[in-house]
Structure 1
Amino acid sequence: MEENREITAHINSKPIYRNFIENLPYNSNLNSRARALRKAGVLSEVIFWLQVHKGKFWKIDFDRQRIIGNYIVDFYVKTLGLVIEIDGSSHNNKEEYDQKREDYLNLLGLKVYRISDLRVKYDLNNVMRELEEYIVKEFG
């Protein structure tokens, strides 16, 4: 274990190390759009949010509809530099756009974890377990 790495959480007794990315670009022109998206409440995003907000998921802090550069990501974990995208029908036929967006986020040092809209709605327990496993693998 590296002694200078800060532990930000524990998942199943395993330490999760901080991966905070400083000075992320921010387009303030997207503020009202991000607010509208939060208010609109896409069902799968609301279901996921109810599992993670207020530290319910291993005391990890999640932001919803976070602006990064010229993009608005579904969820963002600041302490981990982790973007979580829930892919529903709005992502259909947008593979090229999604890849460009993901490449941009990766260039900033962020990791992107994608979850299917349908899996959030119909397989939530496994989705949350797989997210735990991903975080332990990537940040443990």
Structure 2
Amino acid sequence: MKAYNKNLKQASRDLRNNMTEAEKLLWSKLRDKQILGLQFYRQKPILNYIVDFYCPAANLVIECDGSQHYTEEGLEADQVRDEALAQLELRVLRFDNGQVMGQFDVVVEQIFQVIQNKSPSCET
């Protein structure tokens, strides 16, 4: 696991127990290796962050963003976070909660396409 931060273990557990509706919906499709047989983890500590979803085999982080991410401070914080994760060779996909709730099939297809194109070891 890349840069696992054990100090965030309890916070990540709390987040897993209090997922947003968008996170719950997306998790329903990511869990149990439903996308190309790949394992995803939810609310995973990496560096000093807790990412919503993480797929180590695809070096992929998926974030479900609420309205707080679209403030000036939120956008700046996300940029810093994404750059730090990119240093670990992780790709970050961001979807706002409205996209996940209203265009679920499109979101899932985009995730599928990114993984399929990124991971040559993944075959359908």
After superposition, the C-alpha distances for 1:22-63 in whole angstroms (9 at most, x for unaligned) are: x62222111111000000021100000001101122221100
How many pairs were matched up? 118
- Structure-1 residue corresponding to 2:101: 121
The answer for unaligned runs of 5 or more in structure 1 is 1-22
More strand by percentage: 1
Give 1:63-74 correspondences, 5 Å limit. 63-74=41-52
TM-score scaled by structure 1?
Answer: 0.79
Please state if 1:42 is matched with 2:42. Answer: no
Corresponding residue number in structure 2 for 1:111: 91
Distance 2:2 2:109 in 1: 29
- Matched position secondary structure for 1:91: helix
The code of the aligned residue for 1:70 comes to N
> 1:57 pairs with 35, 43, 51, which one?
35
User: Which of 82, 88, 113 is 1:102 aligned to?
Assistant: 82
The answer to whether the aligner puts 1:79 opposite 2:57 as a matched pair is yes
Query: In structure 1, how many angstroms separate the alpha carbons of the residues matched to 2:34 and 2:116?
Result: 17
**Residue of structure 2 in register with 1:134 after alignment:** 114
Large movers: runs of 4+ above 6 Å = none
Relative to its length, the structure with more helix (as a share) is: 2
8 Å Cα contact 2:58-2:118 kept in structure 1? no
Partner-residue secondary structure (3-state), 2:13: helix
Q: Secondary structure at the match of 2:50?
A: strand
Report the RMSD for the aligned CA atoms in angstroms: 1.3
Q: Gaps (5+ residues) in structure 2?
A: none
Secondary structure at the counterpart of residue 86 of structure 1: strand
1:121 maps to amino acid: M
Highest CA radius of gyration, 1 or 2? 1
1:109 positional shift: 1.1
Letter in 2 for 1:81: N
